[in-house]
């Protein structure tokens, strides 16, 4: 009986467990609720265990179901990886190198990796998008880009494979004409909260309901990092910026770096990652591009 278990049954099982109901699982995998129920009943019969307790309004995983859920996910991931690798081998070199990049990522590092690929994969054109927060993840999820370099969105959907890259250091800065610049050391959270903070906002819904690095109730939300940079220099507020983007401004006296009281050093670093769909891993050009970013 176990040999008859199908990948479709396992995907239905995982969807039902993650969505919390058979109807929600049906919407996710585009099946009728009755089909989901029938599929899970057959799976339980084949496995010889009860996966869901159906005695309450919403089905709950049984201890056996919770134990087997991890195994089901592992089987699905392994099968997706097998199909993806076979697809990559069959298609050979990608027709293009399509990349979505977090706006925080150092452009020098990106330029170096692109230059390497231009030299070694001269017939593979580049398509590049620069996005913020959920914008990078969205481009990869919907298939617009095969690779994404994320940083400012810390959560990654399960459909994506993640590879670590590097850390980006941040600086908290203001214009020299701003009130906070008059005493730039050991600034308290209370003092910060009295001034407008310029923050980057998301064009997508992937970070809906969450805020990252917001320390003041007074905020201006900007969807463009260039605008935030210009507004900081104009004295409209204070904000966090990638250090590599403002080092020259600080050296030239156009911005002042602030030291925040009780701010952990780790909080001023952003970990960047490469992401790609599990069912569409990078080909030779993409793999070379990732290798250059890591080096």
Per-residue pLDDT of 136-174, as tens digits, reads 999 999 999 999 999 866 678 888 999 999 899 999 999
Alpha-carbon distances, residue 287 vs 5, 157, 158 (angstroms):
34, 21, 21
CA-CA distances (angstroms) from residue 86 to 30, 79, 124, 190, 275?
A: 26, 11, 21, 56, 19
**pLDDT per residue as tens digits for the range 177-224:** 999 999 888 899 899 999 999 998 766 554 444 455 688 899 998 888
| CA separation for the pair 175, 229 (Å, rounded) | 10
Q: Which residues pair with 197 in a beta bridge?
A: 219, 238
Burial class of residue 160 in the structure, from the number of CB atoms within 10 Å of its CB (0-12 exposed, 13-18 middle, 19+ buried): middle
Task: Indicate the pTM of the whole model.
Answer: 0.64
Distance CA 156, CA 201 (A): 18
pLDDT in tens, 102-144: 988 999 999 999 999 999 888 888 999 998 878 899 999 999 9
**Of 116, 246, 137, the residue nearest 202 (C-alpha):** 137
Pair of tokens at residue 33: 């609720």
CA 173 to chain centre: 26
Gap between the Cα atoms of 275 and 160, Å rounded: 6
Cα distance between residue 252 and residue 47, in whole Å: 69
| Residue with tokens 């913020």, as numbered in its chain | 132
């Amino acid at each position: 009986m176990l040999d008859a278990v199908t990948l479709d049954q396992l995907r239905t099982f995982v969807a039902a467990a993650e969505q919390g109901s058979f109807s929600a699982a049906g919407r996710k995998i585009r099946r009728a609720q009755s089909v989901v129920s029938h599929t899970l009943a057959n799976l339980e019969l084949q496995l010889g265990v009860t996966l869901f307790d159906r005695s309450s309004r919403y089905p709950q995983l049984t201890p056996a179901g919770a134990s087997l859920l991890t195994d089901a996910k592992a089987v699905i991931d392994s099968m997706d990886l097998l199909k993806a690798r076979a697809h990559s081998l069959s298609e050979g070199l990608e027709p293009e190198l399509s990349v979505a990049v977090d706006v925080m990522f150092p452009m020098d590092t990106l330029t170096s990796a692109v230059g390497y690929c231009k030299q070694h994969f001269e017939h593979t054109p580049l398509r590049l998008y620069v996005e913020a927060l959920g914008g990078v993840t969205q481009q990869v999820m919907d298939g617009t880009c095969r690779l994404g370099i994320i940083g400012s969105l810390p959560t990654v959907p399960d459909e994506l494979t993640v590879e670590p890259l590097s850390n980006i250091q941040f600086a908290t800065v203001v214009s020299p004409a701003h009130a906070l610049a008059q005493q730039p050391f050991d600034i308290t959270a209370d003092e910060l909260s009295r001034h407008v903070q310029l923050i980057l906002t998301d064009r997508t819904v992937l970070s809906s309901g969450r805020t990252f690095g917001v320390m003041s109730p007074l905020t201006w939300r900007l969807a463009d990092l260039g605008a935030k940079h210009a507004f900081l220099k104009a004295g409209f507020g204070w904000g966090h910026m990638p250090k590599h983007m403002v080092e020259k401004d600080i050296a030239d006296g156009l911005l002042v770096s602030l030291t925040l009281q009780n701010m952990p050093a780790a909080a001023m670093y952003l970990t960047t990652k490469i992401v790609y769909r599990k069912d569409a891993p990078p080909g030779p050009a993409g793999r070379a591009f990732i290798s250059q970013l890591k080096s």
